[in-house]
Amino acid sequence: MNFPISVPSGQACRNTADELWNYDKRLGFQLPPFWMPLAMMPAQERGRAGTRVLIVDDNHDQADSLGLLARLWGHEVEEAFDGKVALDKAHTFRPNVIAIDLGLPGVSGLDLAKTLRHEAGFQDVMLVAMTGFTNLEGPCREVGFDHYLLKPFNPDSFKAILATVSSAR
Task: Fill in the DSSP letter of residue 121.
Answer: T
Better pLDDT: 25 or 73: 73
pLDDT at 165 over 90: no
Confidence of residue 13 (pLDDT cuts 50, 70, 90): very low
The pLDDT value given to residue 142: 95
What are the structural domain ranges in the chain?
2-31, 43-163
Cβ-based neighbour number of residue 163 at 10 Å: 15
Q: Average the pLDDT over 59-82 and give the result.
A: 94
Helix axes 60-72, 155-163, angle to 10 degrees: 50
In CATH terms, 43-163 corresponds, of 2.70.150.10, 3.30.1440.10, 3.40.50.2300, 1.10.1030.10, to: 3.40.50.2300
> What is the average pLDDT score of the chain?
79
Better pLDDT: 140 or 4: 140
Query: In angstroms, how far is the first alpha carbon of the chain from the final one?
Result: 31
Better pLDDT: 49 or 4: 49
Confidence of residue 39 (pLDDT cuts 50, 70, 90): very low
CA–CA gap between residue 45 and residue 40 (Å, rounded): 10
Q: Which of 35-49, 93-107, 109-123 has the lowest mean pLDDT?
A: 35-49
Residue 74's identity, in one-letter code, is: G
Best-predicted range by mean pLDDT among 26-30, 156-160, 165-169?
156-160
